[in-house]
Amino acid sequence: MLDKKITRSEFLKIAGFGIFTVFILPGLKKLDLFKKSHKEAKYYKKLAG
């Protein structure tokens, strides 16, 4: 399939990037500060009446 051999460091870079995208990016989306502050503002507006 692939004629080019992949070195260990290249493999580790690709694997690290894969792990980064799978675990860290969804966490960053959850920490989306703009949406969160907007929701909190709506919540406090309801509380105030």
Phi and psi for 37 in degrees, rounded to 5? -65, -35
Question: Distance (Å, rounded) from C-alpha 29 to C-alpha 34?
Answer: 11
- Report CA-CA distances (Å) from 6 to 3, 10, 38: 9, 6, 47
Give residue 2's pLDDT band: very low, low, confident or very high (50, 70, 90): low
Give residue 37's pLDDT band: very low, low, confident or very high (50, 70, 90): low
Structure tokens at 43: 């919540």
pTM score above 0.85: no
pLDDT tens-place string over residues 5-33: 889 999 999 999 998 888 877 776 666 65
Model confidence at 46: pLDDT above 70: yes
Where are any strands of DSSP class E within the chain? none
The helix/strand/coil state of 10 is helix
